[in-house]
Chains A and B, each alone.
Chain A
Amino acid sequence: MKINKLLISFLLSASLIAWGDSWEQIKKTAKDINSVQAEFVQKKHMEILSRPLVSKGKLYFQTPTSLRWEYTSPVHSILLMHGGTVTRYIKKNGAVTKDSSARLQSMQIVLQEIIMWMKGNFDANPGFTPQLKPGRIIVLTPKEKSMAEIIQRIELKLSKEPGVIQSVMIYESRKSYTVIDFGRVTVNAKLPDSLFRDL
């Protein structure tokens, strides 16, 4: 019995070591992911703030390209990506408004990047140089100077649980960065299509 437990522990540890060890392993593991749902806490650090600005929300992802990125506080915002279109809604004081700013086009690029990450394709964006570092850390550095002036680098920490991202750090400068920590992650649960279409 004890040997069995040890064996299971060993096999589990081996799989954890293997996940995040190479691009091939990451992609192989991510292939088994059909859906992800998680809660997140976003902390924005800036020189102008005395303490980080905290936002909270939920994330839903369904292969191949459906994403719901929802902030529940301090601003209730729902970003939906489904069938190639991106829509953002703002809920305030019981009213719902559709965000029609040009920024949504750039958000589409960001969301596509997140979808790539969900699929384990961290090295697919030609605009970034990916580095896989010990401790399941992926660092993406922009190749173009114009992009580097906006985002210096992105660091993703993969969870011990295969196929799951633990946190994302987006550095805009030394003093301005965003940390997004994911928690309560559920993988491969059945998610209704309406989640990506409706509020």
Chain B
Amino acid sequence: MKAALLILALPACIACAGLPRITPAAENEKSDIVKRCAAPFLGGPRRLVHSIDGTLPGGATATMIGVTVAFPDSGRLRCTIMSIEGLVLLDADYDGKLVIKRGIGPLADPALVMGMIRDIRLMLFRPAGACAEAGTLDGGNGMCRYRTDEGTVDVMTRSGGGVEVVSYDSSLKPSRTVLLSDFRADGLPRRIELAASGMFSYSLRLDLIEAEQVR
């Protein structure tokens, strides 16, 4: 019976091994850590223009320009991706439901575009739900762990100033790692780097060209 329980518990133990251990913060420090974890994400509706350098599965590289109008309160996103020459390759709207207004080639595929929307949400929006754990890692960096219907997301505030966001798949393996860095005075990161792991790994680097508040 004991052996059977151990076997049953084994997958859960292996899964837990994927998450870094958080040393819980004292109650008076917790709110400060949670505030720092939330700081790099959008605090209100914004229009953002980025140059996007992508390294795609197979090693091909491409540079594009992305325009995103993001509403963090509702989770709504309108995004456009165009070539440097200005040809619009994707114009999509997500408001609980994805609408592709224009999609050329692979960017006409709703599954692919939905994956991009998830990536954009991870880069721009504070993880959904309340912070389940907040504390510090062994190295002293602050860490917040969010558990949502879509999975677990860690936000780590680095002592050097950058913020790292890691989302985990259902087996608690890191599926996306985002690094937000080089912050402007208004708190927006000038640079966002995303690395997607798995069978179709790719990476994106976004450099902020311009940003404005949306009314």
| B-binding residues in A (CB < 8 A) | 42, 44, 46, 48-50, 53, 55, 71, 74-75, 77, 90, 92, 97-103, 107, 110, 150, 170, 172-173, 176, 178
Contacts and interface: CB of A to CB of B under 8 A. Distances in A.
B91 A100 contact: no
Contact of B63 (A75, A107, A173): A75
A74 B91 CA distance: 21
B65 A46 contact: no
A184 to B, nearest CB: 20
Nearest to B79: A48
Interface of chain A: mostly helix, strand, loop or mixed: mixed
B86 A50 contact: no
B85 A110 contact: yes
Contacts of B212: 50
A74 B51 contact: yes
A53 to B, nearest CB: 6
Interface of chain B: mostly helix, strand, loop or mixed: strand
B85 A101 contact: no
Interface in B74-117: 78, 80, 82-88, 91, 102, 104
B61 A98 contact: yes
Contact of B51 (A44, A75, A100): A75
A199 to B, nearest CB: 15
25 contacts: A42-B85, A46-B91, A48-B69, A48-B80, A48-B91, A49-B49, A55-B86, A75-B65, A75-B84, A90-B53, A90-B63, A92-B51, A99-B61, A99-B62, A100-B62, A101-B62, A102-B60, A110-B85, A170-B86, A170-B87, A172-B87, A172-B102, A173-B102, A176-B91, A178-B87
Nearest to B67: A48
A178 B56 CA distance: 27
A42 B83 CA distance: 13
Interface string B43-55: 0000101010100
Nearest to B56: A101
Interface in B133-175: none
A88 B86 CA distance: 15
A96 to B, nearest CB: 12
B84 A77 contact: yes
